[in-house]
Chains A and B, each alone.
Chain A
Amino acid sequence: MSGATTPSTGAGAPSEPAQGERSWPLWEVFVRGKRGLSHVHVGSLHAPDAELALRNARDVYTRRQEGVSIWVVKADDVTASSPSEKDSFFDPAGDKIYRHPTFYDVPEDVEYL
């Protein structure tokens, strides 16, 4: 998954509702499917506080025992890299192919290498 640290709202999303009620903050939900796996981003939801975000996440994202542990993080607290800077941001790794094992020429008949 590529969007693990991207908040669900796009850049420039309106955070205030059109009128009337205050919208609850957006929370990003991460679920550990089972022991031995990392928490993985599964979606988002609105909730007034962390405790309710957690309860709602349980009801929405683990109704069929899809998880053994849940994290909720306020979407506003997620800092994401920007797609427009993508090239320059990730460029430094581009020319360092010697970081990969396949870069090296070694004789074929060497075992366990």
Chain B
Amino acid sequence: MYGNDVIDPNEPLNAAETADYDAAAEHDDQRDGRDAVGDDFDALLAADQRIEPRDAMPDDYRETLIRQIAQHAHSEIIGMQPEGNWITRAPSLRRKAILIAKVQDEAGHGLYLYSAAETLGIDRQELLERLHDGKQKYSSIFNYPTLTWADCGAIGWLVDGAAIMNQVPLCRCSYGPYARAMVRVCKEESFHQRQGFEILWNLMRGTESQKAMAQDAADRWWWPALAMFGPPDTGEAAKGGHTEQSMAWGIKRFSNDDLRQKFVDMMVPQAEKLGIVLPDPELRWNDERGHWDFGEIDWDEFWQVLRGDGPCNAERIEHRRRAHDEGAWVREAANAYAAKQATREREQQQQKESAA
């Protein structure tokens, strides 16, 4: 994944791109600074310039990026499953078309990201094998089941909402292909979050049981959405984590805790608007901090699900493997067709040459 020049860089990506994002991730793309700082990795980073695929870079930087981008790509394609589960049962043709478009977008996000990872010298096939063998992870959130239609609303609103919060700063990541892939992804995510909000908005204006369904979905997805930002990484918790190194490399621009706080601050007023009560008795405005205080996240559950003991871990990988295996004949057929066409073209060429 390379360019995004068909996208206007001056247009805000989506509602999550606020002025403080821009300020914190100031990136002077206009300036022709690259020539001034040369090609040295550290000098480029210090000047907040992008690293491009064939530049020299430390092995650790390359490995970290491959792991992070692959994990991100895996999350996009595994993330197709919870909602894909509802395509045949969407409540209207309109909702069905929207859901298909959304799930298709997630497949596209996976492709942009696998392409970005491949620029670092790894084959997509190999990354898929690592996913299938459980050697690489994907976002824990997709190991929770989608029990009702309202879950499609809650996922769009909360899960895509949290993903946007994570992804907007990645558009300024130091690795060029990753950053450019994220710009495209963020553009597309806005629709995901809005359609989710709209599903809940309609349900909350429906019958009592529809309202209860929306509230129940929010109850189940709220805490896993907060955990999506990753374990605490500020204060005491900063020791021994990867955040500091990732920040020094310009891969990460905000701590997990900062992003989580921003997310809570953004979601509380939206929940109020929806009429949904967020399932946290400790949620209250803190005037001193200028932020919403929120309760303790169950990190034991997070680690347990990440380790593989979530409600749907086995099902997700099993489904993914099956889809891949069952698609093998299509890939083979496409190969056979391509080979046949190539032979035919060669023969025609030879005939033309011998006739001339």
Question: Does chain A bind chain B?
Answer: yes
- What's the Cα separation between A105 and B55 when bound, in Å? 39
Q: Which residues of B contact A33 (CB under 8 A)?
A: 5-6
Min Cβ gap A60→B in Å is 5
B104 touches A63 (CB 8 A): yes
Is B126 close to A, CB under 8 A? yes
Q: Which residues of B contact A49 (CB under 8 A)?
A: 334, 337-338, 341-342
A22 touches B5 (CB 8 A): no
Min Cβ gap B162→A in Å is 23
Min Cβ gap B259→A in Å is 26
B125 touches A21 (CB 8 A): yes
B6 touches A83 (CB 8 A): no
Give the interface segment out of B108-116, B139-147, B164-172, B346-354.
B108-116
- What's the Cα separation between A67 and B6 when bound, in Å? 8
Q: Which residues of B contact A67 (CB under 8 A)?
A: 6
Main SS class of interface, B: helix
Is A2 close to B, CB under 8 A? yes
B119 touches A60 (CB 8 A): no
Q: Which residues of B contact A15 (CB under 8 A)?
A: 123
Mark out the residues of chain B between 36 and 89 whose CB falls within 8 Å of any chain A CB in the assembled complex: 39, 52-56
Give the interface centre of A1, A9, A17 by most chain B CB atoms within 10 Å.
A9
B39 touches A86 (CB 8 A): yes
Is A74 close to B, CB under 8 A? no
Is A106 close to B, CB under 8 A? no
B54 touches A83 (CB 8 A): yes
Q: Which residues of A contact B1 (CB under 8 A)?
A: 8, 43-44
Is B206 close to A, CB under 8 A? no
A63 touches B335 (CB 8 A): no
A83 touches B55 (CB 8 A): yes
Q: Mark A71-97, 1 if CB is under 8 A from B, else 0.
A: 000000000101110100000000000
How many B residues, CB 8 Å from partner?
A: 45
**Contact residue among A9, A24, A64, A80 (Cβ-Cβ distance under 8 Å from B119):** A9
A48 touches B335 (CB 8 A): yes
Mark out the residues of chain A between 22 and 61 whose CB falls within 8 Å of any chain B CB in the assembled complex: 22-24, 26, 28, 31, 33, 40-49, 51-52, 59-60
Is B238 close to A, CB under 8 A? no
Main SS class of interface, A: loop
Q: Which residues of B contact A45 (CB under 8 A)?
A: 111, 115
Min Cβ gap B344→A in Å is 12
**Contact residue among A13, A52, A86 (Cβ-Cβ distance under 8 Å from B118):** A13
Closest to A19 in B: B129
Closest to B341 in A: A49
Is B148 close to A, CB under 8 A? no
**Contact residue among A2, A17, A31 (Cβ-Cβ distance under 8 Å from B52):** A2
Min Cβ gap B50→A in Å is 9
Given known A8-B115, A43-B112, A63-B108, contact A83–B125 (CB-CB < 8 A) = no
Give the interface centre of B6, B120, B342 by most chain A CB atoms within 10 Å.
B6
Residues of B within 8 A of A (CB): 1-7, 34, 39, 52-56, 101, 104-105, 108, 111-112, 115, 118-126, 129, 176-177, 180-181, 184, 188, 328, 331, 334-335, 337-338, 341-342
Known: A16-B123, A23-B123, A42-B5. 7 other contacts (CB 8 A): A2-B34, A4-B3, A6-B54, A18-B129, A21-B328, A42-B4, A48-B337
29 A-B interface contacts by CB (under 8 A): A1-B2, A2-B52, A3-B52, A4-B3, A6-B2, A6-B53, A8-B1, A8-B177, A9-B118, A13-B121, A15-B123, A17-B123, A18-B125, A23-B123, A24-B335, A33-B5, A41-B2, A41-B3, A41-B5, A42-B2, A45-B111, A45-B115, A48-B335, A52-B334, A63-B105, A67-B6, A82-B54, A83-B39, A83-B54
